[in-house]
Structure 1
Amino acid sequence: MYFLYVRVVKARELPAMDITGSLDPFVEVRIGNYKGITRHFDKNQSPEWNQVFAFSKDRMQASILDVVIKDRDLIKDDFVGIVRFDINEVPLRVPPDSPLAPEWYRLEDKKGEKIKGELMLAVWIGTQADAATPVDSTHAISAVMRSKVYHAPRLWYVRVNIVEAQDLVPTEKNRFPDVYAKVQIGNQVLKTKTVPARTLSALWNEDLLFVAAEPFEDHLIISVEDRVSPGKDEIIGRVIIPLNSVERRADDRIIHSRWFNLKKEKFSSRIQLRLCLDGGYHVLDESTHYSSDLRPTAKQLWKPPIGVLELGVLNAVGLHPMKTRDGRGTSDTYCVAKYGHKWVRTRTIVDNLSPKYNEQYTWEVFDHATVLTVGVFDNSQIGEKGNGTSKDLKVGKVRIRISTLETGRIYTHSYPLLVLHPTGVKKMGELHLAIRFSCTSLANMLYLYSCPLLPKMHYVRPFSVTQLDMLRHQAMNIVAARLGRAEPPLRKEVVEYMSDVDSHLWSMRRSKANFFRLMTVFSGVFAVGKWFGDICMWRNPITTVLVHVLFLMLVCFPELILPTVFLYMFLIGVWNFRYRPRYPPHMNTRISQAEAVHPDELDEEFDTFPTSRSPDLVRMRYDRLRSVAGRIQTVIGDLASQGERIQALLSWRDPRATSLFITLCLLSALVLYVTPFQAVAGLAGFYIMRHPRFRHRLPCVPINFFRRLPARTDSML
């Protein structure tokens, strides 16, 4: 991809334009209908800009480049001078050529005559790999900024075990303090339970968990406070501990406690703490279903990479206009790719609904059960309206699971960009990607299939679901804050969209989608059950006879049962090879239940949390939620009842039923002891598959007996 680069360096000896003899100069770079504008200087006749603009050579519709110096004015900017270039005579520079040196050009007036003042410029044609100078991001019409690579910070879990505190002096001498400990790291604040200090000592022994990022900028602040009255707390003492001084561990070894002094004015209490940075966990900072990294924090636990992932962001086509400029719809798009700790951002292609990026990135792969996410966004920080407060708009994203890629194969495929709006699902265009996963160690990759998905500590000392949700939220906020401090920043809305921060929120659409996914998973079981029911009912006598023969063979030769099952699965897998997927999966509106979603369900999904809708609408949605949850509650209760009936067989909850069952078990043991297994299995199978004329419409005796067993529903309020 070739671009016309214009580097505006500085000017000298510019003529005075105002009555006061001053000049407020700026430069306008113009080619055809496109232009870029530098910043202006107040009262400066020798300004220095040193800005670079890039114009896509494919979109240039003029052969003359105009570089105009103007004087900033309140009503109309005054013309100072111009320098013209013929595009056909501009030199071509291809890296690794040396950068083109800027030259002084004499200004001309509108008639083409030389006037006072000179402008230093460098004009050349180069590729997007040109490394001469960073491209200005204000008004260039094509590549307004270079691609950037960001590294998310390394996150740690901070475990604070508050054991006890001693020598607690109350603020009021006539009462014992009701104390609690408050721990703060940055914006994260947690408190222990409140306990009465009857002996001027308090015992908690509570674990509090936080997330911190390297380099550690925030300190660990621990304070013990006295709850004097509701809404009024007094600080008894406080200690500030730098996180760099906290012990790090990569396993579950015991951390020895330490005493710290709590200082406040004249008094000095002390508190016993166990502090550690837990590096044996993987800090979850994204949706669990789409994790791009599963390594623990401690580097000594990292295993060597198993391969390399290469991504080529080629182009996008048919993009939906995201804004209006000069009376027409347009978009200023860029792509963001996230995998592991490495985030990348392509340059922004301005004013183009079919942008070409042609950029390539690589990542090391440590686990193939991870997901690469590529998102497309519209840059809202460009132009006069880009004041930094407007959010970058999401165009769509693509997820690719590494395990679905064949090793060494190059995939070039266009993926639909689908976004769910309050008005429904929309296709915003297509993104053309090139992907290759190269394996460096086949043995290590195959060995991973036998390893746990998460590091060992997640199973040795697991967190609760509530703790994981809270820690994930804190981790995402830290990553978004750090990436937002880069230049150019990865804005918070971009990080949240790429990390699926709202995937845990309630959605009627998602609930229905998950239900139908569950039904699809069990559809095979249901189909087998229906087929076996047809066999038992003799719907197809020929098939039923063949099944009887097969069943009799397996009964007579039971050692063939397992080989037959595994051989059958082998044959199914070989048969399905011809129908294997050719491309990685992409967003599917049918699976997501987004094709025929009700407008009110969409409005509920896009509602804020807490809600901002009217009380009547919230009441209606709450009643609907109660109805859906009631049906789910009934299904879960029925499953629990079946399990409790199985337990009731031997629990003597129904003494008569248990007596009958254990008597039957004794008789069965005697009969099975003297009767060959083949005979019992054959009789049971032929009885189940007996002809309909030997069947009754009423349920059989075992089912009736099982349904009469008691469950614990009688104890429910």
Structure 2
Amino acid sequence: MQKGSIHEEFALKQTAPKIVGSGVMIGGDKVTVAYDLVEQMEYLYVRVVKAKELTKDVTGSCDPYVEVKVGNYKGVTKHFEKKINPEWNYVFAFSQDRIQASYIEVCVKDKDVLLDDMIGRVVFDLVDVPRRVPPDSSLAPQWYRLEDKRGEKLKKGEIMLAVWRGTQADEAFCDAWHSDAAAVGSEGISRIRGKVYLSPRLWYIRVNVIECQDLVPSEKNRQPECCVKVMCGNQVLKTKISSIRSCSPMWNEDLVFVVAEPFEEPLVVTVEDKVGSNFEFLGKCVLPLSIVPKRLDNKPVPSTWHNLEKHTVVEGEKKETKFASKIHMRLSLDGGYHVLDESIHYSSDFKPTSKLLWKSSIGLLELGIISATGLSAMKSKDGRGTTDAYCVAKYGPKWVRTRTIIDSLSPQWNEQYTWEVHDPCTVITVGVFDNGYLQGGKCTSIGKVRIRLSTLETEKVYTHSYPLIVLHPSGVKKMGEVQLAVRFSCTSYVNMLSKYTQPLFPKMHYAHPMSITQQDFLRFQTIQILSTRLGRAEPPLKKEVVDYMLDVGSHIWSVRRAKANFFRLMYVVSPILAIGKWFDQICHWKNPLTTILIHILFVILVLYPGLIVPTFFLYLFLIGIWHYRLKPRHPPHMDIHISHAHGVFPDDLDEEFDTFPTSRGSDKVKMRYDRLRSIGGRIQTVVGDLATQGERFHSLLSWRDPRASALFVTFCLFAAIVMYVTPFQVIVILIGIYVLRHPRFRHKVPSLSTSFFKRLPARADCML
């Protein structure tokens, strides 16, 4: 396949769906602004509320349920045993595009072993069904007298119903039974409904182990070698063995854990004595997290002493020792940190844990998940390939899941969601999955899309079809396309621009930073907590979905990623090489006119050195303005060329999809291979970080982030003017004094320029 055809196959495509947000009106009806980023879908809604005075059968009992039939589609409620006044409060939604009938039949039936008897029914003509357009008030249900098969009214038996026409903007849409899901039955309907999930509020709990007193070792004449083991749920950390070998050892060591509200697991602190190769138990204390104080800054909280419980079992009874050992600790729930659950390069949130430190939002992010086309068949059904597709989107603590479209390779969701935005330099992730939960299996990933908000112009609707690209052991594969509509609107442009001058993370990350090893451990534990909590919801957000959305395992060594990061770095430094070649051409008089102009410019700058800096900034300003017409018009997307997924070798893929530790070769090769991958992973990360910094420098004038480029070129203009009217010697003195300033005038938080630079977009968003 030619390179051009590969690029076209995996390229981003602009679409023109019939949505109000893009300026296209749908029909003559009014469409709500809340659902203006998706195509309007017409539905016939039937709300079955309850029934009363139902007639009993010959056995004297009544096990009623309701069956709603529209053409070939049939929806059924659950049945009640021996109840003549049942309440269902169930909503059915039938797609107007698939209705091939002229009436609706609502039957109340009696559940039986062999054949269900009909108690009564109500029939509606479709032409008489009213239309309700949100946000109008809900249509009130009414009592209808049941009739028999001949159409005669029954003496007893009524059912309360509401029947109307609406769209997916109707509030009943999310909880309704859909005709598209008829194959799963009423019992499995909860597995395919769309839902909104909220991540639990996550805290870092810091345990500062200071010292112990009056420890009692098993051997009285021996000085103990003590350490402290702290356990919180599945997380276990140990201090080092105290350098003071006595019954009153000291550590003054910090141990940090991740906990989620509501706090379920206590903090278990155990003191152990190392005897040979074993550890002996000396005492423990169990502390509920509800008593741990919360702090918002770097100020230490008061330390406390806790009794260490030590029990010995004598004839099946617990007997406390006479002396109570104590442990001295400082505990705090640190709410000034942002608990990392995503990679820093494409994080969707930077807010601290404590809401007291939150600032007002700067705008709204609206996402319309319209449809998908050309999805790959993920399983077989009746001898043919099929897919039960749904989408998951994550931004900040809010996860959304669309309903599952059963048995379709071109599903249409047309669902819209909204998030508050607190920082424009964040990324929303949208993943497409096959619902394997219906068959009791796992959900399979089809592909995902990342969109950085800072690359979007405000108040503009972006409608594109994004390729879903996945790397398999056999190579890169396009799994289909997903059509999205995105709009980023801001409430205050000044507040949004001010975000570019503020630190990326909360102040605690700089005042009391954590090591890289700590961050990796805590992020792993955070993902485990999120997987557990979201897996408890109904329908559950399965672990494989959470792991795929949060890019678990992306740090493992890969030859392909190393190559991709290397060529990213080469792309960044290529302008420097180009400048060297250009200067070499100047020196060799390849273009005499250009060389003469450079000589004149050189003489002018030497005679008037004060023009060097303003000329440089003015040149950057002009280049930035010139590049404005070439600024990217579309949001970034997964790029197989940047990821080097199009030319990867089979051996590289075998290594990338190999288990860790490796399953190849002998034990010696396994050890060397794992060591190589570990070292290579670090090199890969460093090279990627270097490439990210260079790409951020490139983005200053590329208008990839239009607001950042606007701020920079404006700064260049003002800098050029100020340095033009200010003596050069004064500027040099001020810069020198600032660089050599006293530590008292230095702050731990990054400077304005550093904060601005770290917020610039990089091509890491486009990496697979």
Bin for the TM-score computed over the shorter chain:
0.7 to 0.9
Change (3 A) 1:508 1:80: farther
Partner of 1:464: 515
Change (3 A) 1:25 1:426: farther
Name structure 2 gaps, 5 residues minimum: 1-40, 184-188, 312-319, 688-768
Instruction: Determine which structure has more spread, i.e. the larger CA radius of gyration.
Output: 1
Secondary structure at 1:502's aligned position in 2?
Answer: coil
CA distance in 2 between partners of 1:23 and 1:501 (Å): 53
| CA apart distance, 1:475 | 1.5
Is 2:400 the partner of 1:350? no
Partner of 1:700: none
Secondary structure at 1:466's aligned position in 2?
Answer: helix
Partner of 1:305: 361
Looking at both structures, which has the greater relative contact order when contacts are Cα pairs under 8 Å and sequence separation is at least 6? 2
Give the letter aligned to residue 476 of structure 1: I
Partner of 1:361: 417
Equivalent position to 2:657, from 603, 606, 611:
606
Report matched runs for 1:387-402 at 5 Å: 387=440, 390-402=441-453
Give the letter aligned to residue 166 of structure 2: G
**Deviates most, 434-443 or 451-460:** 434-443
Name structure 1 gaps, 5 residues minimum: 638-717
Is 2:204 the partner of 1:162? no
Are 1:140 and 1:350, in contact at CA under 8 Å, matched by a contact in 2?
yes
Change (3 A) 1:630 1:198: closer
Equivalent position to 2:618, from 567, 577, 586:
567
Are 2:661 and 2:674, in contact at CA under 8 Å, matched by a contact in 1?
no
Partner of 2:225: 178
Change (3 A) 1:608 1:106: farther
CA displacement 1:33-59 (0-9 Å, x = unmatched): 655555567899998765444332213
Secondary structure at 1:210's aligned position in 2?
Answer: strand
Change (3 A) 1:446 1:571: same
Partner of 1:243: 289
Give the letter aligned to residue 302 of structure 1: W
Change (3 A) 1:428 1:582: same
Secondary structure at 1:190's aligned position in 2?
Answer: strand
Change (3 A) 1:194 1:520: same
Partner of 1:584: 635
Give the letter aligned to residue 377 of structure 2: P
CA distance in 2 between partners of 1:193 and 1:556 (Å): 65
CA displacement 1:518-544 (0-9 Å, x = unmatched): 111111111111121222333344433
Is 2:126 the partner of 1:88? yes
Equivalent position to 2:248, from 198, 201, 207:
201
Report matched runs for 1:483-498 at 5 Å: 483-498=534-549
CA distance in 2 between partners of 1:588 and 1:66 (Å): 52
Are 1:28 and 1:38, in contact at CA under 8 Å, matched by a contact in 2?
yes
Partner of 2:665: 615
Is 2:282 the partner of 1:213? no
Are 1:25 and 1:44, in contact at CA under 8 Å, matched by a contact in 2?
yes
| CA apart distance, 1:290 | 0.9
Partner of 2:15: none
Give the letter aligned to residue 595 of structure 1: H
CA distance in 2 between partners of 1:621 and 1:58 (Å): 60
Equivalent position to 2:598, from 547, 557, 562:
547
Give the letter aligned to residue 217 of structure 1: E
| CA apart distance, 1:431 | 2.4
Are 1:223 and 1:239, in contact at CA under 8 Å, matched by a contact in 2?
yes
Change (3 A) 1:397 1:618: farther
CA distance in 1 between partners of 2:421 and 2:264 (Å): 30
| CA apart distance, 1:514 | 0.9
| CA apart distance, 1:93 | 4.7
CA displacement 1:657-699 (0-9 Å, x = unmatched): xxxxxxxxxxxxxxxxxxxxxxxxxxxxxxxxxxxxxxxxxxx
Is 2:387 the partner of 1:331? yes
Partner of 1:659: none
| CA apart distance, 1:153 | 1.9
**Deviates most, 28-37 or 486-495:** 28-37
CA distance in 2 between partners of 1:633 and 1:337 (Å): 31
**Deviates most, 5-14 or 341-350:** 5-14
CA distance in 1 between partners of 2:681 and 2:364 (Å): 47
Are 1:379 and 1:392, in contact at CA under 8 Å, matched by a contact in 2?
yes
TM-score, normalised via structure 1 length? 0.76
CA distance in 1 between partners of 2:557 and 2:125 (Å): 57
Secondary structure at 2:309's aligned position in 1?
Answer: strand
CA distance in 1 between partners of 2:233 and 2:632 (Å): 47
Secondary structure at 2:331's aligned position in 1?
Answer: strand
Report matched runs for 1:609-688 at 5 Å: 609-611=660-662, 613-615=663-665, 619=669, 626=676
**Deviates most, 79-88 or 168-177:** 79-88
Partner of 2:477: 426
Are 1:92 and 1:126, in contact at CA under 8 Å, matched by a contact in 2?
no
Give the letter aligned to residue 436 of structure 1: R
Secondary structure at 2:561's aligned position in 1?
Answer: helix
TM-score, normalised via structure 2 length? 0.72
CA displacement 1:258-310 (0-9 Å, x = unmatched): 11111223232100001111222211111111111112223332222222222
**Deviates most, 95-104 or 461-470:** 95-104
